[in-house]
Every structure is written in structure tokens, then in C-alpha cells.
Amino acid sequence: ITIHQQSEKRTMSSAAPSNANDGCVGPTSQEAGKAAACAGCPNQGACSTGSFSSPAAVAAKEKEKANLHNALSEVSHVVLVLSGKGGVGKSTVSTQVAQSLSSRGYSVGLLDVDICGPSIPRMAGVLGREVHQSQSGWTPVYANPNLAVMSISFLLEEGDAAVVWRGPRKNGLIKQFLT
């Protein structure tokens, strides 16, 4: 599986709820529900009372982790292409590596997590195609029999439209792509 990652400055706790404000300190922090970033957050009350660390919440988090582990159990190699700078060719390198490996008979998945400017579908020659929903989740678009491509571009009315999501919301979408 080849994963393409957009560079991004992390401003939220990785444990933050998916609908949390930017700058969220996370529900397990001593400042949870009290920090300046908590003002106006829909989770402020739950964070300040400890609801996110309840036994039910911990069990749900463990189930999510198990689902992700199960979804990736048959993946033997992961190549992560990332950079701390934009415009350096991450999408180009990701697409070329994926196409090269697939042309040699390897089964390859190319995940475009550049939510803000998805370009991999264009580079892989699958722009305009649609992802199909099934009982087991989304079925990726195949550029060739050995190359599966997944991108938010397939879910948008205009494939080259930008989606400005960061932190937990973006992470939630990536988890959904992986499972």
C-alpha cells in the first residue's frame, strides 16, 4: 500500500474528538473543557466531566483500534511519502512508485490523504470516477487491475475541489478510508 500524506502542522491533540475546535488540548488533559480553545466547542461539557475517558468511551476506542488493525492485517508493506513542505512532488512520487509496483505485478493501494488539494486521481488517470459504497465500506477505484486508488476527490461533486479539514476530522476520514 502506498500512502500519500499532505504536510500539515499539527495543532490538536490526537485524542481530540473529531468535531473539536482547532487547538483542542484533548479530553484527557487536565485543561480539558477549561482551556481557551475549548470556548464554544460542542464537546466542552463532556471533556470537563471526563465523559471521553469513561469505560464505554475507552471500549469504543479499543474497538476502533481493533477494526483498523484488522483492516490492515493483510498489508505487507507500507510506503509513506511525506514532506514538511508543500509543492515538492509528493503526489508525483507516490503515483509513480505505485504505478511502477503495480506494473510489476504487485497489488498496490494508493491512498491520497491530501484532503486540501487531491491530485492523485488526475495523475493516476482515474479523475471523474466514483467510489462505490458496499456493506463493507467504500470500494476504491482501480486504475489498473493491480492499482486501487482512494481519494476524497471521488466523493466530491467537483473532483478538484478543496476540502479544508484538519486534525481529528481529517484523521477520521483517513481511518474511514483505511477500514
pLDDT in tens, 47-102: 888 777 778 888 888 998 899 899 899 999 999 999 888 889 999 999 999 999 99
Q: At what angle do helices 167-178 and 55-71 cross, to 10 degrees?
A: 50
Is residue 134's pLDDT more than 60? yes
% of the chain surpassing 90 pLDDT: 34
- The predicted model scores a pTM of 0.69
Residues near 26 by Cβ (< 8 Å), separated by ≥ 6?
A: 12, 13, 14, 15, 16, 32
- pLDDT score of 15: 67
- pLDDT score of 44: 83
User: Nearest CA to 15 among 137, 122, 172?
Assistant: 172
Highest mean pLDDT: which range of 92-106, 125-139, 150-164:
92-106
